[in-house]
Amino acid sequence: MSNVAFIGLGVMGYSMAGYISKAGHNVTVYNRTAAKADKWVAEYKGSKADTPAKATEGADFIFTCVGNDNDLREVTFGGNGIFKAIKKGSVYIDNTTASATIAREIYTHSIKSEFGFLDAPVSGGQAGAENGALTVMIGGDQANFDKAKDIIDCYSKKMKLLGGAGNGQLAKMVNQICIAGLVQGLSEAINFGKKAGLNMEDVIEVISKGAAQSWQMENRYKTMIDDQFEFGFAVDWMRKDLKIAMDEAKNNDSKLPVTEIVDKYYGEVQDMGGNRWDTSSLIKRLSK
């Protein structure tokens, strides 16, 4: 079994680190709010450290799952960051949804410092993390992927190496672009059906077996009909992710007209007080 450091015990990282521990690895965790690390240590087998650097000492594999580029920079390049203690030959796996730019910056640093790096953002939401069934989109070198895949497998149902550094983050942008359009379409459809007097549970039962089927339909239609939005990925997080995608689109000269519209709609949801509602809350603005 391996020595593992896990930095960031949010709604995703908490369970991900737990699955690595359950697999028998020696896990040391760090979280900015120490009480969360204390709770994790009480629930799982492992230990906590006071800084990312302390957690990293002696680790064969280091994981981070934090909020954004700035958070990632703090726990890596910062004064108490993991790069102060990371050992040669180890592999660092970043599960944060961040920019491809910082992924490539970290990769360049990893080459100079002789450790491996994979950018490996995840999809599947809180439920996927809690069930150990996340999809992991990975950028980096084949040799580092081969070293780390068994550890990543602890919390994933599907992983794939998609090319060089930054490609994992680019794939996550594709994922979020797809979801934004799907949720808006599903919101419009359910709202339309309800106003037309249809029993939407019956309608979804039928159309979910045809070409309209999607994960969002299967997993969110009931809560959307019931006006409940406490089930997963928050609007604030989605807007952060969509901004990353829209900024990248400027770099590669791609057009994201629907994504830009849906991002503005999520802004309206935030104005309604829905910052922490899940992403299916787009339907709320149609009936306000």
Q: Rounded distance, CA 31 to CA 258, Å?
A: 36
The conformation of residue 78, written as its DSSP 8-state character, comes to S
Q: How far is CA 52 from CA 5, 6, 30, 81, in A?
A: 8, 9, 6, 5
- Choosing from 45, 172, 222, 284, the catalytic residue is 172
Which residues, at least 6 apart from 140, have a Cβ–Cβ distance to it below 8 Å? 107, 116, 117, 118, 119, 120, 161, 164, 165, 168
Active site (annotated) includes residue 172: yes
H helices of the chain, where?
13-22, 34-43, 52-56, 69-76, 100-113, 125-130, 142-152, 167-195, 200-207, 215-225, 235-252, 257-271
CA-CA distance, 166 to 102, in Å (whole number)?
8
For residue 179 the two structure tokens come to: 């979801």
Catalytic (active-site) positions: 172
